[in-house]
A and B are shown apart, each in its own frame.
Chain A
Amino acid sequence: MNSTIEKIKIPSCVFFLVILGMLIDRIYLDFPYLQLDPKINLLNVANLLISILIAFLIPLYFKKLTEEKHDQKIFLIDDFKELITIVKKIKSIVSDAYNKRVFSTQDRDNIILTFTEAELKVDSIKSQISLFGNGSRKISEDLTEHLFEYNDYLTGGEMMLSSFDSVDLRFYTDNNIKYGKLETEIKNLIHKTYKL
């Protein structure tokens, strides 16, 4: 049985090899081969080939670099958006206290804790944005300063007095204005970050 299979196998292989040889021969005959002009310097040919190679590699390299930078920016902008969400919590604490007509020690503590959370987010943004070089430092400084200004307004004023136990319309309105300013500044910085 085995010897029968071997007998069939050998002629099949030979047959395929013959067909393959004929195909290669056909392609070879049809292929217009190049003749190198002996006057051409081999170094010039090598130079040309390297130039062609570089012309292909450089766009590929920059494409990869641009894609990486784009991805990093998306992450960074997500962090800016998260910062807005965190700071919005502070506005909500004040709004809730206004609606309840009571401002508690717990509210004060929550505001301070939320500012700490916002500062940690800003620190993370600062560390990421530094990778973008030119212009990133100014964005970083502006972001920190805008957060500090809002922090100064809330935790540097009357809200910190132990006698501050309710939010009146004036405080509520002022806080909304200060918060709105901060949110707008963060959004402006998002636009600037897109342009980096």
Chain B
Amino acid sequence: MEIKDHINIATDFSDHPGSRYIEDGAFSGQDFLEKILLPRFEKAVRENYLLEINLDKVYGYPSSFISGSFGKLSIEKGGELLLKHIVLISNDNPLNAEKINREIKNPKK
């Protein structure tokens, strides 16, 4: 499968990801999911391509942000489908990709 779309969290959303829900504070996981991740992911599934997500140049990924975005999407669409259509790039801190993969495989309810 070919990579046809890219999301750079630091430049397309924020270099300062926040909490889980929009009402919890700025740059939440829910906000990222609804505005960016979900529509781009659905398009990737529909047109059968890979969506590359660059995790670099961000201060850190709180668990609540990961859970509110990738975790929520995994619960809704299934972890297998998610892992099939997204490619995580994390050169600055490889553990960021590991954290997200862990959440996709075992999303917190």
Select A116's contact among B18, B24, B59, B63, beta carbons within 8 Å: B59
Task: Give me 27 A-to-B residue pairs in the complex whose CB atoms sit less than 8 angstroms apart, sorted by A's number.
Answer: A109-B59, A112-B60, A113-B59, A113-B60, A115-B60, A116-B59, A120-B93, A123-B93, A123-B95, A144-B95, A148-B99, A151-B99, A152-B63, A152-B108, A154-B63, A155-B63, A156-B20, A156-B62, A156-B63, A156-B108, A160-B18, A160-B19, A160-B20, A160-B62, A160-B64, A162-B25, A162-B26
A24 contacts the other chain (Cβ, under 8 Å)? Answer: no
Contacts of B99 in A (CB 8 A): 148, 151
Interface residue total, chain B, C-beta cutoff 8 A? 21
- Chain A interface helix/strand/loop/mixed: helix
Q: Which residue of A lies closest to B67 (CB)?
A: A156
| Per-residue interface assignment for chain B, residues 39 to 71, with 1 indicating a CB less than 8 Å from any chain A CB and 0 otherwise | 000000000000000000001101110010000
CB nearest to A112 among chain B residues: B60
Task: Give chain A residues whose Cβ lies under 8 Å from the Cβ of B16.
Answer: 109
Check A156/B64 contact, CB under 8 A, given A144-B95, A162-B24. yes
Type the 1/0 row for B89-109, where 1 means its CB is closer than 8 Å to any CB of A. 000011110110010000010
CB distance from A115 to the nearest CB of B (A): 6
Query: For the complex, is A59 an interface residue (Cβ under 8 Å from B)?
Result: no
B63 touches A123 (CB 8 A): no
Residues of A within 8 A of B (CB): 109, 112-113, 115-116, 119-120, 122-123, 144, 148, 151-152, 154-157, 160-162
For the complex, give the distance between the alpha carbons of A112 and B27 in Å.
14
Closest CB-CB distance, B60 to chain A, in whole Å? 4
Residues of A contacting B62 in the complex (Cβ-Cβ under 8 angstroms): 112, 155-156, 160
Q: How far is the CB of A26 from chain B (nearest CB, A)?
A: 73
Select one of A109, A120, A122, A160 contacting B24, CB under 8 A.
Answer: A160
Closest to A119 in B: B95
With A148-B63, A160-B24 given, can you name 8 additional A-B contacts, CB distance below 8 Å? A113-B60, A116-B59, A144-B98, A148-B102, A151-B99, A160-B19, A161-B19, A162-B25
Q: From A122, which residue of chain B is reached at the shortest CB distance?
A: B95
Residues of B within 8 A of A123 (CB): 93-95
Out of B19, B63, B108, name the residue touching A151 (CB < 8 Å). B63
Residues from chain B with a CB closer than 8 A to the CB of A112 are 59-60, 62
